[in-house]
Structure 1
């Protein structure tokens, strides 16, 4: 009985094995990675230089008195808006006023002497003319005539001296008047008072800055650029400028480009003027600039996301026969969302833009969308 049971079990096992060998093993479907692609094409790529710089006032003037003196009063405070010619502070003017009165009197005296000399010349001319007639008619002696002639010459000389004295007195008065006027110190520009370094009663001189006035209607930002891009930056060029402190972007204008490099930095200074009608852009803030430095025409371009970088080497994945193929490339200028491919690819090749970080060499892919084309 036991032998029979063993025989039946063996037959059943053989039947199961034979049944299994008659069927094919199930196939495992290969997974396709979904990707988005684009065809590499030629285009124009703008070159730009992203840099930062510190904002400075459109004009920054340290006001110093033209004469020495003691401050009588200060009529402005920090933050005041002032216009050109507006009084900032006043020096004591007693000495200047006395000197002015003396100079005016000196001019009056010189003018009186001039009038007397003019009259003296007239009298001498009349006397000379009369003496000449008498001498010609032999009514007076030669010595009398020569005396009249000498008097005319002397009168002419006196007139010249008097005229010179008037000019001298007028120049002295002008200088004294300037000194008197300079006791009133005014703003040389329209702007805002940024600093006051003087108090009433203090002594000041032309060598010491007393008040600082800055022009805020326009501001400037100064940046340094290298020699390989300076020739492409031109005065008058429009420049986007972002001031992060106030979250504001304005359009600036290149005001000047230095004709020579700074000996210390070997860089060229570029000044960009910024409009500031509201006055919210303050000197000292940091600005970010995007300077245009030219255009490359007819170059191969790709979206930045299509290019992978590993240890300084750049690659892209192209699609060939439904599979991903890794290709080494060299990149050039980058502008916005596009980058230049200088070697490694040909126009018209299909490049993976999205999903390129999920594929490997030879892996099958499924193009779900071709950028710029219809979805697949």
Structure 2
């Protein structure tokens, strides 16, 4: 019996001792210091980050066309500046020349036939007079009218043949004009491919571009296509030139999606839309072909916001700690748009409150804190 009493006394003493130690520690514990920032309205910017490729704003590729025959002459040199409609390449096509000559002979023959029929119609009046003396007036008119109707029919047929030959002539002339290839836009002749001239390469014969105007081209998702519009500001950067940034703006967003090979074959694929961004800086150090990141500013508005490092997440819920009367206070919040630095707070906080930045695991509701 005495043994049980002593055990009970020992347990009670141990509990009292532990409670005393905890009270002592709590009373002597330093108040946690925290860094805070005032909640206020800030200008939030929504951004979409898109990869792209630096390209010439205007490019013209001239490919070999076997139907035109052989390339007789390249009328420009690398480095030449050309205007729109400048002759670039001249083809030689002997078959087309033969067709032209044959067409000319057919047209001449057709006109001779028309003139011969017209002469025959004109001769009918004299023939009618002779017939009247031989077979009488009524019989003469009957024969002449029948012959005149036949000649008029022959004349219509000959006229139709002539018109058909004229259409053929126009077609041949258009083909001959196509033997001289002209530039579709102004620019500089960047490359001339000798193998392509001979028809042994699938590469373009000529590459013409405006090297003084560059543009960044890329693709965006169907979701981003609803947020990105022409005229929006863009910041451009490159991993190769990490310390450089350039300004630009969205110049074009395609209305129709990009047709990929998988989409054409019927396979399911993500929908993409092409985008082009013009560059304000004309002295950009990057070269055509460089991979750039397009940081597109999709919206700009004023809203209550806090630094991103103040916002914590617990499952699907977001929360922050504020400081009120020297103590940390737990606040569940509804968040909105996030920028690179701030998170919009739709509800749960008021302007003027002070949120704790980077709250540690020690921070809890009703904990005494000191602001740094």
Q: TM-score, normalised by structure 1?
A: 0.67
Partner of residue 73, structure 2:
73
Larger deviation, residues 302-311 vs 68-77: 302-311
Cα 1:208–1:315 shift into 2, 3 Å: closer
* 1:337-365 deviations in Å (ceiling 9; x for gaps): 32123565444422245x96799554542
Cα 1:273–1:170 shift into 2, 3 Å: farther
1:268 lines up with 2:272 in the alignment:
yes
Partner of residue 119, structure 2:
119
Q: Secondary structure at the match of 2:46?
A: strand
1:146 lines up with 2:146 in the alignment:
no
CA contact (8 A) 2:196 2:205 kept: no
Q: TM-score, normalised by structure 2?
A: 0.67
Partner of residue 287, structure 1:
292
* 1:189 CA displacement: 3.1
1:54 lines up with 2:59 in the alignment:
no
1:350 lines up with 2:354 in the alignment:
yes
Structure with the higher strand share, 1 or 2 = 1
* 1:180-201 deviations in Å (ceiling 9; x for gaps): 3232222233344455444597
Cα 1:131–1:285 shift into 2, 3 Å: farther
Task: Map 1:110-189 onto structure 2 (within 5 A).
Answer: 110-124=110-124, 126-127=125-126, 140-189=136-185
CA contact (8 A) 1:70 1:204 kept: no
* 1:159 CA displacement: 1.6
User: What is the distance in 1 between the residues matched to 2:195 and 2:122?
Assistant: 59
Unaligned runs of 5+ in 2: 1-27
Cα 1:344–1:79 shift into 2, 3 Å: farther
CA contact (8 A) 1:233 1:257 kept: no
CA contact (8 A) 1:55 1:222 kept: no
* 1:46 CA displacement: 4.2
Unaligned runs of 5+ in 1: 1-27, 368-376
* 1:85-136 deviations in Å (ceiling 9; x for gaps): 2222222355544543443343233233323333333343x458x669x97x
Partner of residue 233, structure 1:
228
User: What is the distance in 1 between the residues matched to 2:321 and 2:191?
Assistant: 61
Structure with the higher helix share, 1 or 2 = 2
Q: How many residue pairs are counted as aligned between the two chains?
A: 330
Q: Which of 1 and 2 has greater Rg? A: 1
User: What is the distance in 1 between the residues matched to 2:345 and 2:96?
Assistant: 76
User: What is the distance in 2 between the residues matched to 1:277 and 1:345?
Assistant: 42
Q: Secondary structure at the match of 1:333?
A: strand
CA contact (8 A) 1:239 1:289 kept: no
* 1:242 CA displacement: 0.9
